[in-house]
Amino acid sequence: MTTQSLAEDREIRRITFSHKLNRWDVKISPYLYISPFFILFILTGLFPLLYTAYVSVYDWHIIGGQGDFAGAGNFEWVLAQDKFWVALRNSFSIFLISAIPQVILALIIAAILDQNLRAKTFWRMGVLVPYVVAPVAVALIFSNMFGDQYGLVNNALGRIGVDPVGWHSQVVPSHFAIATMVNFRWTGYNALIFLAAMQAVPRDYYEAAMLDGAGRVRQFFSITIPSLRPTLIFVIITSTIGGLQIFDEPRMYDTTGAGGASSQWLTITMYIYNLGFGPAGGGQFGRAAAAAWLLFLIIIVVGLINLAATRTIATSGSRSSK
Amino acid sequence: MSTSRRTTAAVAIAGAAAFALLAAGCSSAAPGGDEEVTELTLATFNDFGYTDEMLAEYTELTGIKIVHNKAATSGDARTNYFTKLGAGSGLADVEAVEVDWFAELLQYSDKLYDLSNDEVADRWVQWKTDAATGSDGRLIAYGTDIGPQAICYRSDLFAEAGLPTDREEVAAMIDGDWATYFAAGEEFVANSDAAWFDSSGAILQGILNQEEETLEATDGEIIATTNPVVEDAYTTVLDASPELSAHLSQWSDDWSAGFANGAFATMLCPSWILGVIEGNAPEVEGWDVANVFPNGGGNWGGSYLTVPAQGEKAEAAKAFADWLTDPEQQLKSFVSTGNFPSQKSLYEAEELLSVTRPYFNEAPTGEIFSERSAAISVAPFKSVNYFPVMDALQNAITRVDVDKTQDADASWDQFVTDVEAIG
């Protein structure tokens, strides 16, 4: 009897334990599965973010380390610098010059790739090739091509009788040249994202439109573009974040990486880097941290504007699709 | 259960014993010192001329293997140096530094080993040693090379413009002050499409390197914006720029391309730039070096070796730095790269004086730069803010000379604003 009861006991216990395991599995496992992301985020995202905030309220030198408490002093100093505002202007300007043509071009390329082409995979992989090239290599080649006196582009312009453009010396041309590098790299990538979305559009729509007598162009604007709304929003948001943080291309645009003699193409991330690590006037971690936080706040503001715009587009989109 | 506990205990004891042994091993080895060192790391930038053969020679002598890391530019090396010096780890056992950011490093001299040693006390030219000696008398770095300046010129372009081409005659023509140099330039540009010099920024640097107090007063105060010496140099250069400059910014892609395109006929020529000229225009024939420099002599650039205190192989690293900066090694470096040694015993040495450079029309570069280094009479005072202020000043020149986006007065005003933001 005792053995029997023991056996029963054991059996019951076993069931309850595995029950418990089951319940834990259901309750805890999902969190465990997503935890690597959050652990990584805390280590590489949240901690540096908070630590930067801590650094930003101190005088902090690259070698000397932590100094006196400065309060809002570093923020005031950064906001009083002309260079900060110039850098902000440059970041936005390069972002706009690159993002707008890039999205339009990517849409057109995607629309072409969506047609029945021969050797489809070849063309689709082809547009991705620039994305594979390292940005620094791209920057080296382009900065050479856009040389003021001996560059390929000015040479070609000279052939057709156009005066040489100051690709490095002038503000807008330098932004244009840097935007070209960004577009070179990202247009194909975005085109593939658009292409994926386009292929998800039900083909019946196009058949119906064709029966109604709509041409290719009309189809593109009335069917393809409205169906791409969510994808468009995704692409615009990612390129906004990327655009405001642009660093590699402008930094490699000349050999010193300081953004030009009158900060023509100094972007906000380069400004932060130069404050922190730059050879001229660098090593000021406190001020660099303050500038980094200001950039963070700016991106949040731009993000909120994006979100508002996204909501309007999304609701109007769902209305039109009904 | 109890067995396993016993095993754990045994393992723990064994572990502790092993640890103790290890600790004992270490402590007994430590006073003995450097027999233990089997490897040293060396970090340089550009080209110091420390070839693999040279380093292999040291391995043969001492049995210490050398791992050599080369940064592409001095700027990269600087970023790396300062970041890791601040972090307290990660630097090589022997680290090279460049003279322009060396001053900044002096204020952290407690993070570097004192290298002073009677045997080497007399090795370098005095101003080189002085610049590496802290106010407390510690010598924190061993000098490698210096940059005595001569004038490099394109004899083919000179011939086309009807100027003398022989290096003695060219030297006689330019000999004098900066006005003489510019006057010769005016004669040249009247008969040629090429410009006289490459970059106004380089000329400005040449002029300022002949003055003792330029951007900073010896007490460390920034005087660049009020010092008449600086403003005079600025005006002189920008007055000459429209006619004589090739409007290139040093080290830019256009500047490098300018060598091959014959954009300019002369340039200020510190010994280490010979390799740069040769590399940028390997096919051009006609570059030559004249034993002359406007207004006497001048030094531009040069480097040091330091031993960071975060390294644990101090004695071995010091010995290695000592060996590398020994005249014998620096002579080899000069022969292979053109980096002119700062070791004064070499200036009389036949091996150095007999060095010639085929690319520069067999110019006797050993002899020329030896004389040019003797002409250096002033060591410009450079302190913490020298580099950032010089950078701002160079930008001011670039805005007028290269970018042509501002006139001289507006650019100066912006320079004043930029300097106010420093420090």
Reported as a single tens digit per residue, the pLDDT across A260-271 is 999 999 999 999
For the ranges B27-31, B100-104, B303-307, B333-337, the lowest mean pLDDT is seen at B27-31
Residue A153 inside a domain? The answer is: yes
pLDDT at A6: 55
- The pLDDT tens digits for B111-128 are 999 998 888 888 999 889
B48 is written with which tokens? Answer: 């110091």
Same-domain status, A20 and A112 = no
Same-domain status, A123 and A226 = yes
Residue A62 inside a domain? The answer is: no
How many Cβ contacts (< 8 angstroms) between chains A and B? 95
Q: Distances in Å between the alpha carbon of B226 and those of A70, A82, B209, B383, B387?
A: 30, 22, 18, 17, 17
In A3-42, the residues whose Cβ lies within 8 Å of chain B are: none
Same-domain status, B127 and B258 = no
pLDDT surpassing 90 at residue B130 = no
Q: Which residues contact A295 (CB under 8 A, 6 or more apart)?
A: A244, A245, A268, A269, A272
Same-domain status, A245 and A165 = yes
Same-domain status, A50 and A174 = no
Burial class (CB in 10 A: 0-12, 13-18, 19+), A76: exposed
Same-domain status, A139 and A199 = yes
Report the CATH number at residue A254: 1.10.3720.10
Residue A68 inside a domain? The answer is: no
Q: Which domain holds residue A30?
A: 2-56
Q: Residue A261: its chain B contacts at CB < 8 A?
A: 249, 394-396, 398-399, 402-403
Residue B378 inside a domain? The answer is: yes
pLDDT at A299: 86
Same-domain status, B252 and B346 = no
pLDDT at A22: 85
- The pLDDT tens digits for A112-161 are 998 888 888 899 999 999 999 888 888 889 988 999 999 999 999 999 99
Check CB contact under 8 Å for B261 and A150.
yes
**Mean predicted confidence (pLDDT) in B250-268:** 93
Q: How many domains does chain B have?
A: 2
**Mean predicted confidence (pLDDT) in A152-180:** 93
pLDDT at B32: 39
Same-domain status, A41 and A78 = no
Same-domain status, B138 and B151 = no
Same-domain status, A24 and A169 = no
Same-domain status, A196 and A303 = yes
Same-domain status, A206 and A250 = yes
Amino acid letter, residue A75: F
A64, A82, A150 ranked by CB distance to B254: nearest: A150
Q: Which domain holds residue B249?
A: 147-299+361-420
pLDDT at A316: 59
CA distance A151 to chain B (A): 8
DSSP A208: H
Same-domain status, A302 and A194 = yes
Same-domain status, A88 and A163 = yes
- The pLDDT tens digits for B212-256 are 999 999 888 999 999 999 999 999 999 999 999 999 999 888 999
* Beta partners for residue B40, in sequence order: B66
**Mean predicted confidence (pLDDT) in A200-227:** 90
Same-domain status, B179 and B226 = yes
Same-domain status, B226 and B372 = yes
Same-domain status, B292 and B341 = no
pLDDT surpassing 70 at residue B13 = no
pLDDT at A155: 92
Residue A162 inside a domain? The answer is: yes
Residue B17: pLDDT band (50, 70, 90) is very low
**Residue in A59, A149, A153, A253 to test binding to B, most B beta-carbons within 10 Å:** A149
Q: How many domains does chain A have?
A: 2
Same-domain status, A195 and A80 = yes
Q: Which residues contact A151 (CB under 8 A, 6 or more apart)?
A: A144, A145, A167, B253, B254
Residue B9 inside a domain? The answer is: no
pLDDT surpassing 90 at residue B414 = yes
Residue A63 inside a domain? The answer is: no
Amino acid letter, residue A254: D
Check CB contact under 8 Å for A280 and B388.
yes
Q: Residue A82: its chain B contacts at CB < 8 A?
A: 417
Check CB contact under 8 Å for A144 and B108.
no
Same-domain status, B380 and B346 = no
Report the CATH number at residue B393: 3.40.190.10
